[in-house]
Amino acid sequence: MKKIAVFIFIIMLGLPMVKAQDYQTALGVRGGFFSGISIKHFISRTDAVEGIAAFHHRGFMLAGMLQRHANAFDAPGLSWYYGGGAHAGFYDRQYTPWFGKDERGNVSTFGVMGALGLEYKIEEIPVTIGADLTPAFNIFGHTGVWMGSGLTLRYTFQ
């Protein structure tokens, strides 16, 4: 009986953190380590997929992530999220900082990335503002670890 009571108590503590998002899909712009277009779509009350098409070091990058959202600091409209996914990049060696300026040719990268961020849904207008950190590891192409960050402004659709 004690185990059941503890289980119910833990579930009740977590309920205030689980909240349906105020929107289904959002589309907008992202600025930061890589800048471009971002689209986020909720597939459940707490889980979303995000796709990013961005420009980075005069190249192009695509990323896709699955994210888990929860209310942050008991503030209405504010949520924190974490998640992960994959990215692929296509670059000219001459314009990337990890190659020399005299190196020519193209390079493609592929790797995994994470996300940790905060997002605020403005109640009065259909807009979200988000900030995140995106650690990543390139598996193919130029291998290595890098850390990105960004600000995202999106228009929300119901």
Do the domain assignments include residue 11? no
Do the domain assignments include residue 25? yes
pLDDT(15) > 60 = no
Domain count, the chain: 1
- Band the pLDDT of 97: cuts 50, 70, 90: low
Which of 106, 126, 113 shows the shortest CA–CA distance to 58? 106
Are 124 and 114 in contact, with CB atoms under 8 Å apart? no
Q: Residue 30 belongs to what domain range?
A: 18-157
pLDDT of 142? 78
pLDDT of 98? 63
Are 56 and 62 in contact, with CB atoms under 8 Å apart? no
Do the domain assignments include residue 69? yes
pLDDT for 33-75, tens place per residue? 889 999 999 999 999 999 999 987 778 999 999 999 999 999 9
Least confident segment among 14-18, 42-46, 86-90, 132-136: 14-18
Higher pLDDT, 105 or 65: 65
Mean pLDDT computed over 127-147: 91
Do the domain assignments include residue 68? yes
pLDDT of 35? 92
The span from the CA of 62 to the CA of 25, in Å, is 19
Do the domain assignments include residue 117? yes
Mean pLDDT computed over 19-38: 87
Do the domain assignments include residue 12? no
Least confident segment among 9-23, 71-85, 89-103, 139-153: 9-23
The span from the CA of 17 to the CA of 128, in Å, is 19
pLDDT of 46? 95
Residues 6+ apart with CB under 8 A from 75: none
Are 114 and 94 in contact, with CB atoms under 8 Å apart? no
Do the domain assignments include residue 33? yes
What CATH number corresponds to the domain at position 26? 2.40.160.20
pLDDT of 103? 66
pLDDT(10) > 80 = no
Do the domain assignments include residue 9? no
